[in-house]
């Protein structure tokens, strides 16, 4: 069984000796240092599971040593010891990331419990990191398919914007893959282990229900509200909220959203207390927002909030070199989904795909390939499998 390793830094020999004996009896691997400088040298040779540092030492004191230790390993578990029960030094140590603080002489029970809790916390932190790494490997990789210069530019932009926590506006015709780009951003961002929530803005739904969908509601706040319900904003806490068709927000809803973005708080419908929230916003639109701003149908302040980074996805007809890679990607996707043999594209089918105008963009292409996979009788996908083959193939 792996022995936990502890470093004791204290200028008093009796303290080092006593603690060394105590922790050896507890089954630790123990090292000691008589000064902050010596402790720092040992830290470079580390790692240690726990570091016990005396606050008051000649030369480098415990607080300075702790800062330097955290520069080497910000996950180091540090416990500060002091003979002076000074609250301000305790608070300073804790603010700098010390696990805890203990006054000499210790109650044996306090020392045992403190070290046990410190080790437990370290174990949980290590396990958390390991699980995240494993999750990264298991998570389906979201990728952007295409070879055109337009798509390559988008790939580059996504790589840049994903890591910074600012809002993104994704523009493009219907079916160009705005939601997919939003998901790729999420996957590459620091929020990838937190939720990705989509809010679909539909004109068919009354505004009050849309608000309830976005902000949630308390019991009885709206008709048939049997209990409290979290809205999309609350579900996205810590993660990303992607709003489709942001242009369809009424001016009232736009104003409400600005307040949430500014204050990082919101209220559920029928609620009395504000709820704190933290999310990154990605908005999607098919419309020309600048025109809508000029017509005063879209608030300029909200426009500036959401348009920190802007990504435009060209329609598929303007990047025909992406059609076949996308088609092959969808063939693979659906063959896996349906558990069927992956079909090749007949050269005539390829010509047909390339000749079509794709008004429905990538979404239409996906739908066509899925249909062709399912209904196609041949071992290859042929042009007759496409619904537009009579008039779409050149």
Partner 1 sequence: MMAANKKVYLAFINDYRPPFWENLEKDLSHSLPLPFSHLTVESGLNLFYSGDRKQYHSTLILSQIINQLPEDGGKIVGITDVDIYIPILTFLFGEAQLLGRGALVSTHRLHNEFYGLPRDDTLLYRRTLKEILHELGHTFGLVHCQNYMCAMTSSSYVEGIDLKKAKFCRPCQAKAEAAPA
- Residue 111 binding partner 1, by CB under 8 A: yes
DSSP result, 253-304? HHHHHHHHHHHSEE--BT-SS-EE---EEEEEESS-HHHHHHTTSS-HHHHH
Let me know the angle formed at the C-alpha of 271 by 268 and 274, rounded to the nearest 5 degrees: 75
Smallest distance, partner 1 to C-beta of residue 103, A: 10
- Residue 300 binding partner 1, by CB under 8 A: no
- Residue 11 binding partner 1, by CB under 8 A: no
- Residue 374 binding partner 1, by CB under 8 A: no
* Strand 168-171 to 100-103 pairing: unpaired
Q: Under rule CB under 8 A, how many of the chain's residues touch partner 1?
A: 20
- Residue 107 binding partner 1, by CB under 8 A: yes
Over the window 54 to 93, marking each residue x when it contacts partner 1 by CB under 8 A and - when it does not, the resulting string is ----------------------------------------
Q: Give the range of 8-16, 87-95, 182-190, 195-203 binding partner 1 by CB under 8 A.
A: 8-16
Q: Give the range of 56-64, 98-106, 243-251, 385-393 binding partner 1 by CB under 8 A.
A: 98-106
Q: Give the range of 12-20, 141-149, 229-237, 345-353 binding partner 1 by CB under 8 A.
A: 12-20
Closer residue to partner 1, CB minimum distance, 105 or 347 = 105
Of the residues 6, 7, 9, 15, which one makes contact with partner 1 according to CB under 8 A: 15
d(CA 381, CA 370): 11
Smallest distance, partner 1 to C-beta of residue 1, A: 10
- Residue 37 binding partner 1, by CB under 8 A: no
d(CA 284, CA 179): 8
Q: Which position has the token pair 């996979």?
A: 373
30: number of Cβ within 10 Å: 20
Residue 212: phi, psi to the nearest 5? Answer: -65, -40
Distance (Å) of CA 160 to CA 13, 173, 281, 288: 54, 23, 16, 24
- Residue 109 binding partner 1, by CB under 8 A: yes
Smallest distance, partner 1 to C-beta of residue 126, A: 19
Smallest distance, partner 1 to C-beta of residue 53, A: 14
Smallest distance, partner 1 to C-beta of residue 112, A: 6
- Residue 104 binding partner 1, by CB under 8 A: yes
Closer residue to partner 1, CB minimum distance, 10 or 173 = 10
d(CA 84, CA 357): 79
Q: Which helix (H) or strand (E) holds 381?
A: strand 380-381
Q: Counting Cβ atoms within 10 Å, is residue 43 exposed (0-12), middle (13-18) or buried (19+)?
A: buried
Instruction: Please compute, for residue 308, the number of CA atoms within 13 A of its CA located in the half-sphere on the CB side.
Output: 13
d(CA 282, CA 165): 10
Of the residues 41, 112, 149, 190, which one makes contact with partner 1 according to CB under 8 A: 112
Which ranges in 295-360 belong to alpha helices (H)? 300-306, 323-338, 347-355
Closer residue to partner 1, CB minimum distance, 54 or 385 = 54
Closer residue to partner 1, CB minimum distance, 112 or 152 = 112
- Residue 127 binding partner 1, by CB under 8 A: no
The torsion defined by the Cα of 258, 216, 185 and 148, in degrees rounded to 10, comes to -90
Closer residue to partner 1, CB minimum distance, 119 or 221 = 119
Of the residues 22, 193, 303, 388, which one makes contact with partner 1 according to CB under 8 A: 22
Q: Which residues bind partner 1 (CB under 8 A)?
A: 12, 14-15, 17-19, 21-22, 24-27, 104-109, 111-112
């Amino acid at each position: 069984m792996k022995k936990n390793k502890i470093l004791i830094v204290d200028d008093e020999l009796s303290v080092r000796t006593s603690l060394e004996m105590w922790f050896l009896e507890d089954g630790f691997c123990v090292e000691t240092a008589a000064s902050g400088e010596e402790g720092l040298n040992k830290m470079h040779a580390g790692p240690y599971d726990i570091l016990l540092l005396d606050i008051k030492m000649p030369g480098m004191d415990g607080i300075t040593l702790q800062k330097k230790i955290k520069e080497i390993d910000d996950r180091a578990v540090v416990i500060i010891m002091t003979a002076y029960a000074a609250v301000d030094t305790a608070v300073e140590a804790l603010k700098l990331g010390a696990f805890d603080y203990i006054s000499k002489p210790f109650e044996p029970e306090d020392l045992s419990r403190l070290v046990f809790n410190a080790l437990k916390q370290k174990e949980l932190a290590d396990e958390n990191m390991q699980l995240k790494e494993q999750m990264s490997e298991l998570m389906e990789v979201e990728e952007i398919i295409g070879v055109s210069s337009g798509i390559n530019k988008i790939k580059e932009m996504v790589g840049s914007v994903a890591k910074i926590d600012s809002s993104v506006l994704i523009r493009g015709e219907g079916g160009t893959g705005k939601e997919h780009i939003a998901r790729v951003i999420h996957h590459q961002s620091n929020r990838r282990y937190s939720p990705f929530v989509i809010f679909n803005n539909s004109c068919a739904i009354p505004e009050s229900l849309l608000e309830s969908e976005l902000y949630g509601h308390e019991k009885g706040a709206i008709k048939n509200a049997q209990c409290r319900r979290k809205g999309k904003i609350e579900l996205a806490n810590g993660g990303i909220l992607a709003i489709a068709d942001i242009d369809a927000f009424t001016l009232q809803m736009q104003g409400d959203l600005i307040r949430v973005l500014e204050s990082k708080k919101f209220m559920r419908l029928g609620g009395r207390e504000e709820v704190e929230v933290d999310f990154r916003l990605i908005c999607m639109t098919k419309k020309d927002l600048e025109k809508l701003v000029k017509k005063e149908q879209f608030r300029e302040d909200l426009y500036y909030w959401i348009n920190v980074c802007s990504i435009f996805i060209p329609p598929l007809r303007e990047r025909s070199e992406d059609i076949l890679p996308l088609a092959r990607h969808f063939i693979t996707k659906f063959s896996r989904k349906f558990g069927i043999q992956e079909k090749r594209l007949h050269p005539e089918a390829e010509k047909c795909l390339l000749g079509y105008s794709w008004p429905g963009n990538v979404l239409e292409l996906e739908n066509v390939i899925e249909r062709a996979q399912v209904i196609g009788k041949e071992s290859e996908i042929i042009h007759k499998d496409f619904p537009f083959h009579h008039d779409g193939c050149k």
